[in-house]
């Protein structure tokens, strides 16, 4: 396993540090609680060493845990694949069709985007997932999606074990008035359980059942979203770019026809771009198979047009009149600012006195989408002659 070598040799210590984040802590805690309680309840409900059904049930439970952790850690430590720093295209003419990233000091190939959390340009970036504390992109998309389907399946199995354990242990102790509800549990009860089902065990099982059901619903919904992304070969960011392309064409009435370049025309063909027998996705993360009517830079050219149009259609310009250090919750700016801080993990941009802020979008009645009252001075409408887009 790739992630094991990275952990054992400590070749990439910063990757191991990804575990020190609330997302992996919560995710691994849920996996640990559900798996541990399911194993204990399996021993109480369906002794694995006495019957074939118990053995199959126990082996399946262990397999779910191993597969879930395998895909989870691969999604985290294999990572999405990052564009090399100072990257440049082979042909000098191609650079005019690409965006330049000032942070990575290199051009961004098609489908790549800069992640502020990872502080790198990511290959075919879909989103930054806090649960793995890493981006979902080109190299780990299959691992991430596999984890999203295995987790609900494993939790569904665990939920069945929790329900049957509580039923068999409480049926003879408490009368619910369900005289017609009877389940033959003679096979699982052949051996007296080694551990008593006490009140704390019941409470722990009930808590684990809630976690399992919640995970099944929440992660299951994420799986369907990712399958939609894979079958269309269109990341969440690219879907937003396509939507803005249609809006731009309609706004200016240019008569253009925007064709998304990476949809290969069939769900199976799109599926095979991510899932392969070798486990390694197709492509190098820079060059991509495209629609016959498109070329490698169809999407990047559209992005450049949108960047330029974004500056033209910006709402208003502001000038900072005091310093902001980029703190998440700046107490020194007052209680109103403290409680209106946006609930996002996106890093804040420090401001110096005199810096110009260009508000490109905002909420109704509040064109400045910063969420911070920073005593900004209004300059006026932005320059209607857009400059070269920044990375």
Task: Kindly report, residue by residue over 8-51, the tens digit of the pLDDT.
Answer: 444 456 678 889 999 999 999 999 999 999 999 988 888 887 78
Q: How confident is the model at residue 214 (pLDDT cuts 50, 70, 90)?
A: very high
- Is pLDDT larger for residue 182 or for residue 267? 267
Does position 386 have pLDDT exceeding 70, yes or no? Answer: no
Phi/psi of residue 100, nearest 5 degrees: -105, 130
Buried b / exposed e over 126-145, threshold 16 CB at 10 Å, is: bbbbebbbbbbbbbbbbbbb
CA distance 101 to 96: 13
Burial of residue 332 (CB within 10 Å: 0-12, 13-18, 19+) is exposed
Does position 111 have pLDDT exceeding 60, yes or no? Answer: yes
* 165: CB partners within 8 A, 6+ apart: 41, 44, 45, 197, 205
CB neighbourhood size of 340 (10 A): 13
pLDDT value of position 115:
94
CA distance 230 to 143: 13
Q: For the segment 281-299, what is each residue's pLDDT rounded down to a tens digit?
A: 998 999 999 999 999 999 9
CA distance 286 to 16: 27
CA distance 37 to 14: 32
pLDDT value of position 129:
95
pLDDT value of position 195:
57
CA distance 21 to 134: 11
Q: What is the pTM of this model?
A: 0.80
pLDDT value of position 350:
81
Q: For the segment 297-312, what is each residue's pLDDT rounded down to a tens digit?
A: 999 999 999 988 887 7
Q: Which residues are catalytic?
A: 129
pLDDT value of position 16:
83
Structure tokens at 13: 């210590």
Judge contact between 332 and 363, C-beta under 8 A.
no
pLDDT value of position 62:
95
């Amino acid at each position: 396993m790739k992630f094991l070598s990275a952990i054992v040799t400590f070749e990439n210590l910063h990757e191991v540090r990804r575990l020190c984040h609330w997302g992996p802590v919560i995710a691994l805690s849920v996996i640990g609680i559900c798996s541990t309680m399911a194993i204990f309840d399996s021993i109480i409900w369906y002794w694995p060493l006495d019957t074939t059904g118990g053995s199959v049930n126990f082996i399946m439970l262990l397999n779910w845990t191993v597969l879930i952790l395998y895909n989870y850690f691969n999604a985290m430590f294999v990572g999405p694949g990052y564009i090399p720093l100072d990257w440049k295209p082979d042909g000098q003419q191609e650079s005019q069709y690409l965006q330049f990233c000032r942070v990575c000091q290199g051009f961004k190939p098609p489908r790549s985007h800069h992640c502020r959390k990872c502080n790198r340009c990511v290959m075919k970036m879909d989103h930054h997932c806090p649960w793995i504390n890493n981006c979902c992109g080109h190299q780990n998309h299959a691992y991430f999606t596999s984890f999203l389907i295995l987790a609900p399946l494993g939790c569904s199995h665990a939920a069945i074990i929790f329900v049957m354990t509580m039923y068999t242990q409480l049926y003879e102790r408490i009368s619910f008035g369900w005289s017609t509800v009877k389940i033959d549990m003679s096979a699982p009860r052949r051996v007296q359980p080694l551990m008593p089902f006490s009140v704390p065990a019941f409470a722990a099982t009930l808590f684990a059942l809630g976690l399992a059901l919640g995970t099944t619903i929440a992660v299951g919904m994420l799986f369907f979203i990712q399958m939609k992304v894979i079958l269309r070969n269109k990341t969440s960011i690219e879907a937003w770019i396509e939507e803005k392309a249609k809006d731009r064409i309609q706004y200016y009435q240019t008569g253009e026809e925007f064709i998304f370049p990476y949809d290969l025309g069939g769900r199976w063909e799109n599926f095979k771009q991510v899932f392969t027998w070798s486990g390694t996705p197709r492509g190098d993360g820079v060059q991509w198979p495209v629609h016959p009517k498109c070329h490698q830079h169809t999407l990047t050219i559209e992005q450049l047009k949108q960047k330029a149009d974004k500056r033209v259609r910006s709402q208003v310009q502001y000038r900072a009149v005091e310093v902001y250090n980029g703190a998440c919750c700046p107490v020194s700016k007052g209680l109103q600012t403290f409680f209106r801080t946006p609930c996002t993990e996106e890093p804040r941009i420090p401001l110096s006195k005199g810096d110009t802020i260009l508000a490109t979008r905002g909420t109704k009645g509040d064109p400045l989408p910063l969420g911070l009252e920073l005593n900004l001075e209004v300059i006026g409408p932005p320059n209607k002659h857009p400059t070269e887009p920044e990375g």
